[in-house]
Structure 1
Amino acid sequence: MLDSDFLNAVTANSNYLMELEPDRFLHNFHKFAGLEPKGEIYGGWEGDTIAGHSLGHYMSALALLHAQTGNVEAKTRLAYIIDELARCQQAQGDGYVAGFTRKRKDKTIVDGKEIFAEIKAGDIRSAGFDLNGCWVPFYNWHKLYAGFFDAQTYCGLESGIPVAVGLGKYIEDVFANLTDEQVQTVLDCEHGGINESFAELYARTQDNRWLVLAEKLYHKKVLSPLANGKDELANIHANTQVPKLIGLARLYELTGKSSDQKAAHFFWETVTNHHSYVIGGNADREYFFDADSIANHITEQTCEACNTYNMLKLTRHLYSWQPDAAYFDYYERAHLNHMLAQIDPATGMVTYMTPLMSGAARHHSSKFDSFWCCTGSGMETHAKHGDSIWWQGDDTLFVNLYIPSKVDWKAGQAAITMDTAYPYAGAVNLTIDKAEKAFRLAMRIPAWAGEDWTVTVNGEPTQSEKEKGYAYIQRRWKTGDKVALELPLLLRLEATPGNDNVVAILQGPMVMAADLGSSDEPWNGTAPALVGSDLIAGLVSKNADEAVYQSEGIGRPADMKFSPFYANHHRRSAVYFEKFTDAEWADAEIAYAAEQARLKDLAERSVDVMHLGEMQAERDHNLESEISYPVVYRGRNGRDARTGGFFSFDFEVAPGPLKLQASYWGEERAREFYILIDGEKVATQTLDFDKPGKFFDVVYDIPESVTKGKKKVNVRFEPKKGNTAGPVFGVLLFKPKLQSA
């Protein structure tokens, strides 16, 4: 790779990887094998029952870093880690090797290994992320397997494969005597791409037992509808699903089973076309939602980084079956606008979510006390930005990503340098550094370029064959030949799927964002809008080299500066905008004024208000809780209570009739709970509303007998057994409006 923001990300990530200590990741592996740990365990998720998942990511990242940069220390560390894992496995004596823990019912934390005796006996307690008290153990192992395979692929380290086989025998035994129904119950807990792990183990060992196991670990509830072309993704956890489809893609490559191919294709098409944001990420609060409803889900909890990391992996599989530039139109969008946005190039720290709500700030990991799933996948993502720039066919070299780089194409006996300032400039220049035989060069022409592009060889127009988004140039190349591609980097609006009135602005592949100030400063403004009949004409270039624009006359409540979204690491941004004509904006302002008047009237009748999830408000109202958690969603703080828990707080009251108002999100599903005042049930609430994209209020009448003669009451939210109460985004006690005589 040559100088670019992508190389900057690789460098920042490389520095971070070298700061991390293998022995700290290995702490639990050593401990549970009866060996003396050599390092203190890391904090964050590594200090929780998912401990160990980061080691697999770290192994893959080291392998990718070595392949990308030639870093010798990365390979040395990887070899050491594998040797230590082999030592741990040998000490275990039965093939087992893991670092995850288990929380028992009495809340003590123990070695996670003890859950597998229960599972083998048919005692399976599976929830979305919990399996018999352990946090996603098979997901954890999937990461470890990937580490072993990447060590072999990118570093030539074969020593991890025997460890992988030994662990495979242990896992095979766990499932050996389970019924199909019991296997499905285990798979209801997030398990990553454990099917991919055994498909790949089969590919590398040619032992058919691993193919049998891979096909056995087929999660029917999710995968069967996809194989039948049905989009049933709404309200299921997004990143839980993507690795399963990567597993099916790998199985198709090994077996040719058409239903696996169909499921992978359908999932990719569905997610990229109907469930993805403009930056290429997907999901809100980690969950898929109804197709084509992006405009209802522009929040501070969008675009989990792991989802896109895995979608890019899936894209590579599908592309390898049949080259089509449409795959890399998506890949480029997500790689540039989401993955590059994730990392702080100054520190190497990464985000979990990439928020798209206007005014939201990005929150980055800490070095040694986060280790979220996205910290782990981030280690890998930013170790391999050179991956997928160039692809090879039989006699064709494909140029898929326009990132400054050099390639030594051994099979084609050629070497090429790519020089470009893309996506800030539309010129992409290739120099043939070596060419010993004829070959085809395939330049990707992005769909947004239309027909307004040119390609020349040595300054002269050249004939090229256009097919599936590529310009193919066939010739007997000579050293020093120069190819120049010119792409039109014009601004354009892109509507959200399902809502033409909510738009984003792009320059070529690059998502643009309005700058709303430093992330260090609070922002309490309203989401900006765009007003006018020709919005693109209202965006004026101020610095072409850095893609900086200024809106003139079209911004509301004021004009704004626009620049590339990905680079706004410590700025608050606006990416999506409602667009209005002048007449529509006049009506919108009237509606806004009416809503402000309503809120002013309600405030004047208020007796007390509780801002749930806010520390000072909860302290002032004597909040008490069990199995209850603060939440933040769409800029609003709230709180929920899980089954067996509650939250309660004190409210001042006033004489006479009163009403209680609670605020909820309009797309919660099948949650039932009770509201009590001083121990008396005043309401039962079921959340199963269809109010997409909205918070809504429910008002409850309070019997005067509950508050009569009192200055304060205790308000309690308590879930029905097996349910969650809330989340509740604020509670208000107020006097009803006086009725005219």
Structure 2
Amino acid sequence: MAPPLSRRSLLQAAALAAATPAVVRAGAGPAVASAAAPAAWTVRPFALSDVTLGAGVFADKRELTLDHARGYDIDRLLQVFRANAGLPTGDAVAPGGWEGLDGEANGNLRGHYTGHFLTMLAQAFASTGERVFAEKIGAAVGALTEARAALRAEPAVLSVPGPFGAAAQQGRGSYQYVDLPAGVLGGASAVTLAAWVKPTHDDAWARVLDFGDDTIRYLYLAARNANGVPRFAVTTGGAGGEQGIDGTAALPTDRWSHLAVTVADGTGTLYVDGTAVGRNTAMTLTPAALGTLAHHWLGRSPYPADPVLAGAFGGFDVWSRALGADEVAALRTARPADTPAGRGDLASYAFDETGGGRFADASGRGLAATLRRTWGGPSHPGFLAAYPETQFIRLESMTGSDYTTVWAPYYTAHKILRGLLDAHTATDDDRALDLASGMGDWMYARLSALPAATLQRMWGIFSSGEFGGIVEAVCDLHAVTGKAEHLALARLFDLDRLIDACAANTDTLDGLHANQHIPIFTGLVRLYDETGEQRYLTAARNFWGMVVPTRMYGIGGTSTGEFWKAAGVIAGTIGATTAETCCAYNMLKLSRALFLHEQNPAYMDYYERALYNQVLGSKRDLADAEKPLVTYFIGLSPGHVRDYTPKQGTTCCEGTGLENATKYQDSVYFARPDGSALYVNLYSPSTLRWAERGVTLTQTTGFPNEQGSTLTVGGEEAAFALRLRVPGWATSGFGVTVNGRAVPGDPAPGTYFEVSRTWRPGDVVRVAIPFGLRVEKALDDPSLQALFHGPVLLVARDRATEYLELGLYRNAALSGDLLPGFSPVPGEPLHLRLGTTEFAPFFEGTEDPSHAYFRRTEPAVVFGTVDSGVANPARADGTSLLDEIWSGAPFCTKAALVTRVRATVATWVTAGLLGATDGRTVVATAERARFVA
């Protein structure tokens, strides 16, 4: 094994791979080390700290997210971790949605959002240097360190004020209960059970107590039944044989209530706060009839779906007789020892301990109780999560998808791990690395013990087996720790049937969940970096080609209702749930990862498309302290209104949305490892500090409102090639000048235009990138089209819920540009009007109903403003005569256009698609018409 790189260099390599900041401390210079980049990379990225955003749409969008991050209470994100560990949560309220126990699927994804938030904070700190972000990172890492330590230890009592002194808190989400010794009922033929309880949530069927064998022989007292009132029941024949007593009113939450049950001589009575609220005079079952029972629990039910009681116990006593009504009433006002009843003779717990995990029994029988977790505890000291390890354990035996039971635990682990790695890289906090390394150790301990067939089954399960980008994160962890187990762990996530199919360029994506699978391939690229195994890179490259463009909408997004359909089906999948935002985030990451190995301009053409359209458009242009205001789906159906607060917040897409908005500059520039070339991929106002060459490069541009960019060189003199991306849409007029002199060459669309020279401070490069107004046709329905101005998709703002029918050839320029048929909207850049319909950039984060696609209708052959009066014929595939003519654009002169018209008309007349007389009329019309260049 080769000698390891320094720890610092490894940190930087991992940071660059993940597009997160390299180590940055106050006053520190740029932190980039090209030597640390994987040998497989043919270019390397720059750290976020090396690229400063200038004023423009990216900076404006980012500021909305930064402002949200500055003010958001980090303790809210940590609430679920602290609760799971049995730690105090204070007054913090979990963010809700997928992060709270009341969210979808009982919040079985909780913790993922905290990981996203950590990554966002790390990126924000690297980009801005603001200490507030580092302080929030430090607070979060400290709390997570405490939570892991608490999980490693036996649960300890959380003491809170009770009705007569201290009481024992059972935090919601802690999964803690009190385990009583087996003899607590003593085989009594008469009994009184009394407890002080303070519910903090209105869960149905949360048990105050449950003594039984399983779900056949038991007695229980529930704080709320299905009707919301207390219920006591005893049975030897399961639920159908219960002899029960129901209360009459719900117990209040966040207030102490005294509950008591007496059973004797065939009568059972339920008391609430000293008053009898229910009686059953046919209760023949007593503890003696139950015999020896397996469990005696306070706060826990034997039914897996029942919640653990959230609240506090202020006392619990058991008597071997039925107390009288006066005795029960007296218990409401004093401790049992200070009432006529005295302490319970079978058991008596005050719950006034302020530490430890044992509760003393004052009955004289020595039946000390123990505080336990329903799931026992972690299988490995590195375990860290916001829910029990049972989510991971259950996945190992699942054969079908059920996200209400198990919801993507390794996906959640990925987000936490990624956030910790990014936190460590940004602030050099060793606690974060220790937590991340521990998570890697724990996952390896779990997964390495499983048969290969089990792993393949797990990772093939929809939703439950989803693991996000964990392979990428684990590879980055391995780059830092050098632990062989961590690299071995990364390979344990191989989903062979998918990898092998894509490596063979066999498309099996139809019917798959898109976002479950896209990040798998980013991980495979990193695995290739670490292992050199070619099938990983080949699979990822082929997979990208299966999505772009055959499953891609005009905005760069993919998926419908989260799933893929057959390749080439675009129009047939458009609806309100197209283009899940996470998919765009992950496709950007994959495109970037592939570009590090092969500088195919198509990767950056896609990157620009998705970034300037879906990603920017997914963020609402509004500040909000509570929510990040990011879309989940961006519906492309006619008249769709974007939903910026999906599913009550904290979804996967809002998490990735936080990350998107704090790394807009991550792919503007790349450099060859030897410093011989600098790639400019995006025309974005920004300043690059290229430390290795001592060079700065400042882009000044209003792009996309400006059709070009000015790049000014600063720093030291240096020789290198400046490689400027020629966008695939830039079909005419792309040009470059250096210090005012034109650079010769033929800049073909979809290539890089290279300017190689010795650069000196003050050199100015001007890049002209004329926009054209053009359409893109849906692959499966050419009449369904999207309108683009340069890189920007323009949406029609209209409340109609049917596709708008528009004709665009009238007044088309000789270049093929459709712009002359539109008029600009004064004071609104990139806003155009066609008749009464206004078009606006997709990236504007508004709630206006919009149309990303329209129905193209060109009923008559029109050139310029002259209507030939001839119907526009079409072939069987939908291609019209005008389509055929204008596909030959650009035309250098009107004569060239007329020549194209004559040739096309002749072909169509010969094919019987157009009459000879109409053909002559069409040619004559073209000859009379006037055209702009």
Q: Partner residue of 1:640?
A: none
Q: Partner residue of 2:692?
A: 411
Of the candidates 223, 226, 230, which is equivalent to residue 506 of structure 2? 230
Structure 1 pair 271/397, CA: closer, same or farther in 2 (3 Å)? same
- Cα contact 2:794–2:852 (8 A) shared by 1: yes
Of the candidates 1, 25, 28, which is equivalent to residue 80 of structure 2? 28
What is the identity, as a one-letter code, of the residue corresponding to 2:752?
Y
Partners of 1:279 and 1:239 lie apart in 2 by: 17
Q: Partner residue of 2:542?
A: 266
Q: Partner residue of 1:173?
A: 445
Of the candidates 44, 48, 59, which is equivalent to residue 7 of structure 1? 59
Q: Partner residue of 1:539?
A: 821
Q: Partner residue of 1:642?
A: none
Q: Partner residue of 1:626?
A: none
Of the candidates 767, 775, 788, which is equivalent to residue 493 of structure 1? 775
Of the candidates 294, 298, 307, which is equivalent to residue 574 of structure 2? 298
**1:441 CA drift (Å):** 1.4
- What is the TM-score normalised by the length of structure 1? 0.73
- Structure whose CA Rg is larger: 2
- Cα contact 1:2–1:405 (8 A) shared by 2: yes
Residues 5-39 of structure 1: per-residue CA shift (max 9 Å, x gap): 11011100001112222211111211222222242
- Cα contact 2:116–2:655 (8 A) shared by 1: yes
Structure 1 pair 29/498, CA: closer, same or farther in 2 (3 Å)? same
Q: Partner residue of 2:637?
A: 357
**1:337 CA drift (Å):** 0.3
**1:418 CA drift (Å):** 0.9
Residues 35-94 of structure 1: per-residue CA shift (max 9 Å, x gap): 222422221111122111100000000000011111211112112211221222122228
Secondary structure of the corresponding residue to residue 796 of structure 2:
strand
Partners of 1:381 and 1:14 lie apart in 2 by: 12
**1:458 CA drift (Å):** 1.0
Q: Partner residue of 2:116?
A: 57
Partners of 2:841 and 2:687 lie apart in 1 by: 26
Instruction: Report the identity percentage.
Output: 29
Partners of 1:212 and 1:586 lie apart in 2 by: 67
Equivalent pairs counted in the alignment come to: 570
Matches within 5 A, 1:139-178: 139-178=411-450
- Cα contact 1:119–1:174 (8 A) shared by 2: no
Residues 322-364 of structure 1: per-residue CA shift (max 9 Å, x gap): 2222211110110010110011122251111112111010011
Of the candidates 681, 685, 710, which is equivalent to residue 429 of structure 1? 710
Q: Partner residue of 2:140?
A: 81
Of the candidates 664, 687, 690, which is equivalent to residue 385 of structure 1? 664
What is the identity, as a one-letter code, of the residue corresponding to 2:844?
A
Structure 1 spans left out of the alignment, 5+ residues: 517-522, 553-558, 589-741
Q: Partner residue of 2:371?
A: none
Secondary structure of the corresponding residue to residue 321 of structure 1:
coil
Q: Partner residue of 1:615?
A: none
Greater CA drift, 201-210 or 274-283: 201-210
Q: Partner residue of 2:729?
A: 448
- Cα contact 1:539–1:549 (8 A) shared by 2: no
Partners of 1:267 and 1:158 lie apart in 2 by: 37
What is the identity, as a one-letter code, of the residue corresponding to 2:136?
R
**1:484 CA drift (Å):** 0.5
**1:568 CA drift (Å):** 5.2
**1:167 CA drift (Å):** 1.8
- What is the TM-score normalised by the length of structure 2? 0.58
What is the identity, as a one-letter code, of the residue corresponding to 1:550?
R
Greater CA drift, 79-88 or 452-461: 79-88
Structure 1 pair 476/94, CA: closer, same or farther in 2 (3 Å)? farther
Matches within 5 A, 1:619-634: none
Partners of 1:362 and 1:100 lie apart in 2 by: 33
Matches within 5 A, 1:645-656: none
| Residue 486 (structure 2) pairs with residue 210 (structure 1) | yes
Q: Partner residue of 1:549?
A: 832
Q: Which structure exhibits the higher relative contact order, with contacts defined as CA atoms closer than 8 Å and separated by 6 or more residues? A: 2
Of the candidates 750, 758, 763, which is equivalent to residue 481 of structure 1? 763
| Residue 456 (structure 2) pairs with residue 184 (structure 1) | yes
Structure 2 spans left out of the alignment, 5+ residues: 1-52, 101-106, 156-171, 176-300, 309-373, 376-386, 813-817, 862-869, 874-933
**1:425 CA drift (Å):** 2.3
Q: Partner residue of 2:650?
A: 371
Structure 1 pair 42/502, CA: closer, same or farther in 2 (3 Å)? same
- Cα contact 1:406–1:418 (8 A) shared by 2: yes
What is the identity, as a one-letter code, of the residue corresponding to 1:265?
R
Q: Partner residue of 1:289?
A: 565
Partners of 1:95 and 1:338 lie apart in 2 by: 48
Q: Partner residue of 1:630?
A: none
**1:118 CA drift (Å):** 4.4
Greater CA drift, 535-544 or 490-499: 535-544
| Residue 410 (structure 2) pairs with residue 127 (structure 1) | no
- Cα contact 1:52–1:100 (8 A) shared by 2: no
What is the identity, as a one-letter code, of the residue corresponding to 1:503?
Q
Of the candidates 93, 111, 136, which is equivalent to residue 408 of structure 2? 136
Of the candidates 105, 115, 121, which is equivalent to residue 390 of structure 2? 115
Partners of 2:825 and 2:444 lie apart in 1 by: 60
Partners of 2:601 and 2:699 lie apart in 1 by: 19
Residues 499-545 of structure 1: per-residue CA shift (max 9 Å, x gap): 322111101111011111xxxxxx45432012365473673132486
- Cα contact 2:735–2:747 (8 A) shared by 1: no
What is the identity, as a one-letter code, of the residue corresponding to 1:375?
E
**1:424 CA drift (Å):** 2.1
Structure 1 pair 138/568, CA: closer, same or farther in 2 (3 Å)? closer
| Residue 619 (structure 2) pairs with residue 560 (structure 1) | no
**1:157 CA drift (Å):** 3.0
Structure 1 pair 181/425, CA: closer, same or farther in 2 (3 Å)? same
Secondary structure of the corresponding residue to residue 62 of structure 2:
helix
- Cα contact 1:172–1:213 (8 A) shared by 2: yes
Residues 212-257 of structure 1: per-residue CA shift (max 9 Å, x gap): 1211211234333212211111111110101111111110111111
Residues 236-288 of structure 1: per-residue CA shift (max 9 Å, x gap): 11101011111111101111111100111011111111101000000111111
Partners of 1:414 and 1:95 lie apart in 2 by: 56
Q: Partner residue of 1:502?
A: 784
- Cα contact 2:575–2:636 (8 A) shared by 1: yes
Q: Partner residue of 2:471?
A: 195
Of the candidates 40, 55, 59, which is equivalent to residue 93 of structure 2? 40
Secondary structure of the corresponding residue to residue 786 of structure 2:
strand
Q: Partner residue of 1:623?
A: none
**1:410 CA drift (Å):** 0.8
**1:142 CA drift (Å):** 0.4
Structure 1 pair 181/157, CA: closer, same or farther in 2 (3 Å)? same
Q: Partner residue of 1:461?
A: 742
| Residue 127 (structure 2) pairs with residue 68 (structure 1) | yes
What is the identity, as a one-letter code, of the residue corresponding to 1:89?
R
**1:439 CA drift (Å):** 2.1
Partners of 1:216 and 1:437 lie apart in 2 by: 46
Secondary structure of the corresponding residue to residue 571 of structure 1:
coil
What is the identity, as a one-letter code, of the residue corresponding to 1:183?
L
Of the candidates 149, 153, 166, which is equivalent to residue 90 of structure 1? 149
Partners of 1:252 and 1:101 lie apart in 2 by: 40
Residues 475-512 of structure 1: per-residue CA shift (max 9 Å, x gap): 12222211101012010111122332211110111101
Residues 673-693 of structure 1: per-residue CA shift (max 9 Å, x gap): xxxxxxxxxxxxxxxxxxxxx
What is the identity, as a one-letter code, of the residue corresponding to 2:74?
P
**1:100 CA drift (Å):** 8.9
- Cα contact 1:118–1:124 (8 A) shared by 2: no
Partners of 1:309 and 1:101 lie apart in 2 by: 33
Partners of 2:154 and 2:807 lie apart in 1 by: 65
What is the identity, as a one-letter code, of the residue corresponding to 2:99?
E
- Cα contact 1:403–1:422 (8 A) shared by 2: yes
